[in-house]
Amino acid sequence: MTSNKHLYRYLTEKIKKSGKLQFSEFMNETLYNLDLGYYTNKEKIFGKEGDFVTTPVISSLFGECLSEEFINISHSLKEPSILEFGGGDASLLISMLKKLQKQNCLPGKYIIVEISPRLIELQKKNIKKEIPELLNLVEWRNNLDEVSIDGLIIANEFFDSLPTERFKYDGNNFLMSYITESDDNLKEVWDKITDEQNKELEIAIGARNKVFPKNYVSELNMEYKKWVQRINKSINNGVIMIIDYGYNSQEYFLDDRMEGTLVCIHNHQSHFDPLINIGRQDISSFVNFSHLSNLAVKNDFLVDGYLSQSSSLLNLGILEIYENKEYESDQKVMELNKLKNILLPNTMGEIFKILVLKKNINKKLLSTKEFNYTHKL
């Protein structure tokens, strides 16, 4: 596997001009450069022939469960809608709208906030194939400007894909990662932390005192703050569900996690080197849910719950939905295997968490009713 030559050349030219790129800038270009980035240019990303699968791609039961929460809150809202960050291949949208159509509870509109024109095309194609009659409910935006909604906001595997910074503790000071080049090779170098980054690191660590071991490397995502503020501006009344792989800050910054949480994936194989396969591999970092929750509180959201994915889906009745569905011949066994993949602790059930935030809504939620460990944030 080699890098995308054009993107590699573009990056080295850019570095020659400015000397170095912040790690987040490098990650942003490799993933989202409009012409050459991984999400904007790669032919197949999701599914067996792509690089990875996400929960909605694995099974429609996931979207059917989230629909239960939408139905639950929609009774207390005037014109309830759904907004999804990063629509992927539209699997989540399709499973939710199919279910909500059957239940006679369609949203006023379903907004997808998506940065990749190529993925927007894929989403449109898949929606036209599966539910052409509902295409007119769907709106695409590439940011939250001028979006104003009441309803349910969902971010599944969105925050992990936001360009992050990496920091290192050298025993005395925190340093930040930059990417530079020499003899046309990319390499990581470390430079001083800014005041703004230092402040954000305090929010990411939270109330607990933390002494990092020497040469400890981890991630600090400066994008979280912007997105939490933007969501606050866009949602009037409703619920936000952030679902992703991640930890609270105590687990995130475990002493033993000396190399951080950054992970690259290509063809269903993961590794930890972001400087290879440029433009051909995904790069992501685990989500620091304490950091997100601390920012949410600063922005006057109510933190309603922090649970494992499996607990939340069980609260939403995933087993009953599975049992009551009609399947053809051996489909039920196949679906059971998918269910295990989503729920069991050794697969996606525990490593994936859900953070549920509320704004101006009193309704008791289904997804957080039991097994809630908000106190661990």
Ligand X SMILES: C[S@@+](CC[C@H](N)C(=O)[O-])C[C@H]1O[C@@H](n2cnc3c(N)ncnc32)[C@H](O)[C@@H]1O
Smallest gap from Cβ 97 to ligand X, in A, equals 15
Residue nearest ligand X, CB atom distance:
86
Minimum CB distance to ligand X smaller for 153 or for 162: 162
- Closest to 4 measured CA to CA, from 33, 25, 28: 33
Residue 226 or 271: the one with the smaller Cβ distance to ligand X is 226
Question: Parallel, antiparallel, or unpaired for β 263-266 and 282-284?
Answer: antiparallel
**Is the CB of 40 or the CB of 374 nearer to ligand X?**
40
> How many other β-carbons are positioned within 10 Å of the β-carbon of residue 347?
14
Token pair of 253 as six digits: 């910054």
Q: Which is nearer to ligand X, 205 or 343 (CB)?
A: 343
- Distance separating alpha carbons of residues 277 and 32, to the nearest angstrom: 15
Residue 212 amino acid letter: F
How far apart are alpha carbons 55 and 308 in whole angstroms? Answer: 14
Q: How far is the CB of 82 from ligand X (least distance, A)?
A: 13
Q: Would you say 85 or 169 has its CB closer to ligand X? A: 85
Which of 297, 351 has the CB closer to ligand X? Answer: 351
The minimum distance between CB 322 and ligand X, in angstroms, equals 20
Secondary structure string (H, E, C) spanning 279-343: CCCEEECCEEHHHHHHHHHHCCCEEEEEEEHHHHHHHCCHHHHHHHCCCCCCHHHHHHHHHHHHH
Residues at the site binding ligand X, with contacts judged by CB under 6 A = 39, 54, 56-57, 86-88, 91, 113-116, 119, 156-158, 161-162
> CA geometry: angle at 312 spanning 311 and 314, to 5°?
65
Residues of the chain by 3-state class (helix, strand, coil), percent to 5: 40, 25, 35
Smallest distance from ligand X to CB 285, Å: 12
H or E element at residue 252: helix 249-252
- CA 229 – CA 232 distance, rounded (Å): 5
Closest CB 368 distance from ligand X, rounded Å: 20
Residue with tokens 């025993």: 171
Quote the CA–CA distance of 178 and 284 in Å, as a whole number.
Answer: 17
Nearer Cβ to ligand X (250/341) = 341
CB of 168 to ligand X, least distance (A): 25
- The nearest distance, CB 118 to ligand X, in angstroms, is 9
- For the bound state, the minimum distance from the C-beta of residue 35 to ligand X, rounded and expressed in Å, comes to 15
- Kindly tell me which of 9 and 125 has the beta carbon lying closer to ligand X: 125
Give CA–CA dist 32/284, Å, rounded: 13
